[in-house]
Amino acid sequence: MIRSIPGVLLPMRSTLRLVMATAAVSAGAAHIPVIPPHLKEAPCMGVLFILLTIACIALAMAAITYDAPLVYLAAATICGLTIIGYAATRLVAFPMLADDVGNWLEPLGVVSIVAETAVVASSIVALRCRRLV
């Protein structure tokens, strides 16, 4: 039942949950302005931005209300993969996204990368501190 994976669903009461939640909301919010142009130019990326925004807000809410290890694991995974995706689109010309190659300092991209990095870092630290206790 719920206890099939010991401790994964039990609340941690981490002091980092506010940091992670704030960073997750910031990461999601940074993608909102670029959704409409991407839905026109690269629809698959626009849909991914919508899903990422929803996921970031849901993770923030979950961290605030019930900060289980699974929340931090999901947050680190989703935002970590988003960072990798950002780097990939800056290094390789993807279909309909070729103009992003080399554009490392796009302002909303920088905001999202900083926020996503904060999500990953705070999630990892929260999980590590839990194991040390």
DSSP states of 65-109:
H---HHHHHHHHHHHHHHHHHHHHHHHS--TT-GGGTT-TT-HHH
pLDDT (tens digit, 0 to 9) for every residue of the chain, 133 residues total? 444 455 566 667 788 999 999 999 999 999 999 999 999 999 999 999 999 999 999 999 999 998 899 999 999 999 999 999 999 999 999 888 888 999 999 999 999 999 999 999 999 999 998 755 4
Report the pLDDT value the prediction gives residue 132, as an integer from 0 to 100: 52
Q: What is the rounded CA–CA span in Å between residue 14 and residue 46?
A: 33
Q: Which amino acid is at 10?
A: L
- Please state the domain extents for the chain: 15-132
CA atoms within 13 A on the CB side of 69: 11
Distance of CA 25 to the CA centre of its chain: 9
Q: Are 84 and 38 in contact (CB under 8 A)?
A: no
| pTM score of the predicted model | 0.89
